Amino acid sequence: MLLRALLLTALLTASSGLPAAEATADPWRPKPPPLTTPWTDEVGPDNALPEYPRPQLTRDRWLNLNGLWAYGGGSTPPEQTPEQILVPYPPESGLSGIQRHDDHMLYRRTFELPPDWAGERVLLHFGAVDQKAEVSVNGRPVAVHEGGYTAFSADITDALTPGGPQEIAVSVEDRNDANPYPLGKQRNEPGGILYTGASGIWQTVWLEPVPEEHIAKLDITPDLTGFDLVAHTSAPGDQPVEAVVSDRDGQEVARARGRAGEPLRLTVSDPHLWTPDDPYLYDIQVRLVDSGDVVGSYAGLRTVGLLHDEQGRPRLALNGRILFQHGPLDQGYWPDGIYTAPTDEALRSDLEVTKRLGFNMVRKHVKVEPARWYYWADRLGLLVWQDMPSLPIDLADPPGSNPPPSEEARANYRAELTAMIDQLRSVTSIVAWVPFNEGWGEFETREIADLTRRTDPTRLIDINSGVNCCYSLPDSGAGDIYDDHTYVGPGRPEVRDHRAVVDGEYGGLGLIEEGHLWPGEPGAYEMTDSREALTRRYREVSDELVRIIEANGLSAAIYTQTTDVENEVNGFLTYDRRILKPDVAAVRAANLAAIDAGTP
């Protein structure tokens, strides 16, 4: 693998993949991470996340810019790029070839446009860059973006030069918790439940050609009989647009024509609903009639809401029926890629394990994933509770002592919250938004709940997961869900108002697997000493969960957690994904029993 990487590095440099000034840089090689995963050795300059990155808005032609870029970093803005980095792995990761944090980063690379793109507009896309990015092409500024979790794009056509290589430069500042941006669990000084930061470019960078008038975004809202679809275009106007829905066999089941920017109603004949047990997805093709721009997409038919059970208790419902939602807390960290999964197979594998364990949902914890993660949740059949990444607070301070977020931090939070919801609004599997976690950076809870509802009125709101604990402000009663955190638990929240009650976090049973540990002192909420003991305790906690579901009308439960993360060893999987700790059959049986107990 290393020999192939070195040979490819020489080839890319010779073909202007890097600026000419960087042609003499040392050959790229990965740095050894503290732990490797089964996919670590599959990563190299020729296959750095080669998959199409945007499954709900696809075109046939595109150019992946992942791979080797020239890189410079330091505590002050660098002027030179003497190193090479493998994009899109963050500099802190071993896979990047850098394996250090820099407050300031400068990325540079060249590319050549395919000849058949002549005469078309060229869009440059970034899946995510953390935290502040300034992008130029051939020395001409084309984009500025703030916030580390949302995608952004630029039309770079007017910055391109006739013939020859084109150069992209990306200047980034990321000071982790020293900046007033949402950052989840990233920290400059990781430890315990806080982890290594992931700076700079950490999702796919790519180009695509489009007509001057083209589809920029699709908003797809499902119900039980069809879809409402809005096609947003590159320029204001009422261009005619046509949408077609096809089933899995390629048979057309709905067609509508209307105007861009206005809702199209696509009523599906003989609708096949999406559920975790049967994650049926329809293909959707949308065409901008005048320009001929055509994009592909997909979605599933489903609704989410609250219903009352026979005792009059509010419960979570899918497709008009009460369904108990049970899943793990999923942090989305990797020992070799930090925030970036080494491969698409790796990204999918955590969700496949979640399904094997009998769960029907997953809580994505204070992180936003690349679009392909949600694609796999849609295809595999997992309900998703999507957290908003938290603002930085000092968890070493006792509850009540943290100052409230600054006005700048609040503004950044609101902007990225609404951008996240807007970016993910068409994802079938997402059923709930979770703006705050345990009061970290919490402010103006009712206002944020109202903002979330205005931005997306179709999903449930869990305004503060863990409202009973930690740094949480007094319960405001906002949202649709009252969320209890109790370790080891499970918690016993009781219905108190219009909201469904859930255990948003419980469990945290740990097991140390020697040879599969991150450097540092391992920890868990309760440690066990063998896989048998871990399985036994999981069954005991699950048996208690079933009793609480039946007695209290609990609507959902989220177990900590999918994998070990750095020094936390309370995952089903070790951090390197090489060992699944408990007995799978026993855990699956317990999880299915809990779902059955809470589903009339």
Same domain, 375 and 228: no
Residue 420: which H helix or E strand, with range? helix 407-424
**Mean pLDDT on 270-277:** 98
Residue 14 pLDDT: 33
Which of the listed residues 160, 189, 210 is the one where a domain comes to its end?
210
Report the percentage of the chain scoring pLDDT > 90.
93
CA–CA distance, 198 with 184 (Å, rounded to integer): 11
Flag whether pLDDT at 133 surpasses 90: yes
Residue 93 pLDDT: 98
> DSSP characters for 171-213?
EEE--GGGSSS--TTEESS-BTTBEE---EE-S-EEEEEE-SS
- Per the prediction, the chain carries an average pLDDT of 95
For residue 20, the domain's CATH number is 2.60.120.260
Same domain, 81 and 221: no
Which of the listed residues 194, 210, 226 is the one where a domain comes to its end?
210
Domain that holds residue 47: 2-210
Question: CB neighbours (10 Å) of residue 301?
Answer: 22
Which of the listed residues 284, 299, 314 is the one where a domain comes to its end?
299
For residue 246, the domain's CATH number is 2.60.40.10
Same domain, 198 and 222: no
Same domain, 383 and 450: yes
**Mean pLDDT on 448-456:** 98
Residue 16 pLDDT: 40
Q: What is the pLDDT of residues 479-495, one digit of tens each?
A: 999 999 999 999 999 99
Question: CB neighbours (10 Å) of residue 532?
Answer: 12
Same domain, 127 and 258: no
Q: 96 φ, ψ to 5°?
A: -70, -25
Q: What is the pLDDT of residues 459-481, one digit of tens each?
A: 999 999 999 999 999 999 999 99
Flag whether pLDDT at 42 surpasses 90: yes
Q: 380 φ, ψ to 5°?
A: -80, -25
For residue 414, the domain's CATH number is 3.20.20.80
Same domain, 120 and 16: yes
Same domain, 386 and 516: yes
Residue 25 pLDDT: 57
Same domain, 428 and 570: yes
Q: What is the pLDDT of residues 401-451, one digit of tens each?
A: 888 999 999 999 999 999 999 999 999 999 999 999 999 999 999 999 999
What total number of domains does the chain contain? 3
Same domain, 59 and 204: yes
pTM (predicted TM-score):
0.95
Flag whether pLDDT at 208 surpasses 60: yes
Token pair 């079938």 in the structure block, residue: 428
Same domain, 90 and 190: yes
